[in-house]
Amino acid sequence: MQGRIVALSCGTYSIDVDGVIFHAPARGIFRSRNIKPTVGDYVEINDNSYIIEKVFDRVNYLKRPPIANIDQMLIIESLKEPEFSYLLAFKYLTYANMNNIKAKIILTKLDKQDDLTLIDEIKNTYSALGIEVYVVSNKTKVGLDEIRHLFKDHITCLIGQSGVGKSSLINSIDPDYERRVNDYSKALGRGKHQTKEVILLPYEGGYIADTPGFSSLELDLFKEDLAQFYPGFAEKFTNCYYSNCLHITENRCTVKEALQKGEYPQIAYDCYLKLSEQSIYKNKRYER
């Protein structure tokens, strides 16, 4: 029989076969072939031994958080505790583009943020790049009705640092899930890493993946990947004069031309410069 891995705990996989959950280990052979069945994988289970025998080809695979076959990423950022970070949002968006996954942004903790100009600025910046931004409060429940439709028939991965309210968001849209949540620690300046494992929860004909939060430092992107996959760069990149253009010091760069004409948001470009500066070259040949 065939099904989808929805959880992995202590070496045992939970597999959803037409709505019934089976628990199964993986065949030892996978390790030697360097295949590690992952949450999201579509697999074949032996009807007698209940062991996972085959992992079907993946549409995509993320190393961080470990998950396969998702068709949308919802980037979760809180407006306060922790503060909204453009850098992090742009990093996640680049990561989504690299993996050919559509992404949208959900801002949480609206109840904690009085600065509506910040929300407008965030919305304007991303709408100029064709990226949708939704604003919710898991406390007052404002904005939740506007996001429910996003999940229908999709396999959605929630991604964002610890404490932003990923698990809270799942509880808000379906209180039956009772996902455990933990306080944001003001002393530590971050969440307390409540969610430890990736899990797929069935919702509206699809699944929502709750995932452990991780910080910006734990997601490494190379300079070349940023230059190619940064939001809004894809179409322009191919038209730059240099095929390995980093859109920084080069002449005849279509990204910089768009920026000068006001067609590319300055905030986005400033974050690009910072992210590029923080990252290293994939190809040593280009080091200058």
Partners of 209 in the beta sheet? 157, 200
Query: How far is the C-alpha of 119 from the C-alpha of 110, rounded, in Å?
Result: 9
With CB under 5 to 8 Å by kind, the binding choice for 168 among ligand GTP, Zn ion, Mg ion, none is ligand GTP
Instruction: List the structure tokens of 77.
Output: 């950022």
Q: Which lies closer to ligand GTP via its Cβ, residue 214 or residue 281?
A: 214
Residues in 185-214 that interact with Mg ion by CB under 5 A: 194-195
Please report, in angstroms and rounded to a whole number, the separation of the first and last CA atoms in the chain.
55
By CB under 5 A, tell whether 240 contacts Zn ion. yes
The site map against ligand GTP for 154-173 (x = CB under 6 A) is ------x-xxxxxxx-----
By CB under 5 A, tell whether 173 contacts Zn ion. no
Partners of 171 in the beta sheet? none
- Taking CB under 6 A as the criterion, the residue among 111, 121, 204, 270 binding ligand GTP is 111
In contact, 45 and 51? CB cutoff 8 Å: yes
With CB under 5 to 8 Å by kind, the binding choice for 43 among Mg ion, ligand GTP, Zn ion, none is none
Closest CA relative to residue 3, chosen from 146, 202, 285: 202
- Shortest CB 64 distance to ligand GTP, Å: 13
- Classified as helix, coil or strand, 269 is helix
Query: How far is the C-alpha of 202 from the C-alpha of 208, rounded, in Å?
Result: 6
With CB under 5 to 8 Å by kind, the binding choice for 253 among Mg ion, Zn ion, ligand GTP, none is Zn ion
- Taking CB under 5 A as the criterion, the residue among 247, 258, 269, 272 binding Zn ion is 247
- Taking CB under 6 A as the criterion, the residue among 3, 212, 231, 232 binding ligand GTP is 212
